[in-house]
Amino acid sequence: MAPPYTPVQHQGKPPYPQDADEKIRKAAKIVFYDAPIQTLDMIKTQLFGSSEKAEQIANNWGQDTVMNDSKTEINTAKDNLAAYWEGPAYNAFNSYASNTVGVMDKDLATMGSIATTLGQSVSTVYQTYASAITFIGNCAADLGKAGLYVLLAAGTIEIPFVDVITAGVAADKVIDALSSFVKNVTTLISSATTQIGQYKSQGISFANLGQQFQNPEPLPEAPKHVGEWHVHPNK
């Protein structure tokens, strides 16, 4: 029997923090630092991917009832026939039905494994994206607190007694905040990639799992011949 599938349920893609994004881009341009901008582009356009579609596929596979319904119908047919029939045709059909149910059990387990692996991966992407946009907000907040440093680095304000060294320190403060953002996101992505790799290892691989699907054997000849069906003597 395949283990019960736990549906993946999320509230949709979290909103992207556009205002915070723009603050980081502005600061990065002021200090001529491209990495934060590239990181923002990756988060905004690539990180989430097609997770909503993948979630739908995982749930469709994991919650599909066709094979379970078919198993129930086959087992019901076996029980009904067992009450009235015997003989070569019945024996052949009973064996065929049992084998078919066994194949369905294996295929259900394969479908469940694929759905679970995909669902776990989707959950990791959701969590990673949520953490990434949190980092965006935190970085923007840090830059906001150091607004004076941003302005100094840009050279857009003049403050008495501010010398070149002070301006350099200001630029360093901005770069430190941006570097922390890039580092945090890079570490986050690396961790998520490792986690998804572990899920795939646990579920083998989608390609190998796909090769495990089996088709039931065709119905043997004996059940097709009326004369091979014998009514129980006591019926």
Positive or negative CA dihedral for 140, 143, 148, 149?
A: negative
Q: What is the pLDDT of residue 159?
A: 46
AA identity, residue 72 = T
Range in 3-7, 24-28, 123-127, 229-233 the model is least confident about = 3-7
Q: Which CATH class is domain 18-217?
A: mainly alpha
For the chain, percent of residues with pLDDT exceeding 90: 40
Rounded mean pLDDT of the chain?
83
Q: Give tens-digit pLDDT for 72-85.
A: 999 999 999 998 99
Give the tokens for residue 142. Answer: 């840090």
Residue 119 has pLDDT above 90, yes or no: no
Hey, what long-range contacts does 197-205 have (CB within 8 A, 24 or more apart)?
A: 199/117, 199/120, 199/121, 199/124, 200/117, 200/121, 202/117, 203/113, 203/114, 203/116, 203/117, 204/113
Q: Domain coordinates of the chain in residue numbers?
A: 18-217
Identify which of 18-22, 47-51, 170-174, 219-223 has the greatest average pLDDT.
18-22
227: DSSP letter: G
Residue 186 has pLDDT above 50, yes or no: yes
Task: Report the alpha-carbon distance of residue 55 to residue 129 in Å, rounded.
Answer: 15
pTM as predicted:
0.75
Residue 206 has pLDDT above 70, yes or no: no
Q: What is the pLDDT of residue 115?
A: 87
Burial of 159 (0-12, 13-18, 19+ CB in 10 A): exposed
